[in-house]
Amino acid sequence: MKILMVLTSHDALGDTGKKTGFWLEEFAAPYYTFKDAGAQITVASPAGGQPPLDPKSDLPDFQTDLTHRFKADADAQAVLANTVKLADMRADNFDAVFYPGGHGPLWDLAESDVSIALIEAFERTGKITGFVCHAPGVLRHVMAADGKPLIAGRRVTGFTNGEEDAVELTDVVPFLIEDEFKALGGLYEKGPDWAPYIVEDGRLITGQNPASSEGVAKAILAAA
């Protein structure tokens, strides 16, 4: 199975002067879930090269067995440091695409014509698309073949309003995923804040938060 993982290149947390990027667990857990299953993994980002890591995701409280494995894995670190450019990727070269979260994607990937077109290409050809935590927000402008929002009438999840409020970024993020999905006609679902929650609607797979990242990866493999 060939899987494309797409990471953000955005590192500014709005106008706060603080940094953001991708969330480490949301990369590490799926990466090793895919790798251990024998999948071929390509990692891309809009700018290519080393994507920005959300510094909070590197704090001790947010480490897991798989983040520790990543930090001891020189090969995986080299893969991350040398992401290919997203604009060079084609859906027909992969079986599935997966977007890890972190707040960064809300600024760059959600508004990227390249990312939007890529997801639409995966969807049109019946391939698997997976997103976790803030990454479902990249579906904001993605359209179905009928010209309606891709998520309209589809079961989806993503970082909740309650979770955003808990991290005190409700007034910083460009949009709230829960509110945006409902406004677009998505059938938004959620579980308890911070608990794993995965939603599958056909070949569209979404996870609510960092704890859902491994579950989304497993669902992608099962759907193949």
In this predicted model, what pLDDT tens digit does every residue of 4-40 receive, in sequence order?
A: 999 999 999 999 999 999 999 999 999 999 999 999 9
Q: Provide Rg for the chain, Cα atoms.
A: 16
pLDDT in tens, 54-94: 999 999 999 999 999 999 999 999 999 999 999 999 999 99
Q: DSSP readout, 122-151?
A: HHHTT-EEEEETTGGGGGTT-B-TTSSBTT
What pLDDT is attached to residue 177?
98
* Buried b / exposed e along 155-170 (16+ C-beta atoms within 10 A): ebbbbbeebbeeeebe
Return mean pLDDT, the chain: 98
| CATH number, domain containing residue 211 | 3.40.50.880
| β-strands 96-99, 198-201 pairing | unpaired
Domain assignment of residue 158, given as a range? 2-223
From 218, 196, 216, 213, select the one nearest 29 (Cα to Cα).
Answer: 213
Residue 164 tokens read as: 């955003």
Can you tell me the mean pLDDT for 183-188? 98
| Residue type at 113 in one-letter notation | D
What is the count of structural domains for the chain? 1
Q: pTM of the entire structure? A: 0.98
What pLDDT is attached to residue 108?
98
Can you tell me the mean pLDDT for 151-168? 98
C-alpha span between 170 and 106 (Å, rounded):
13
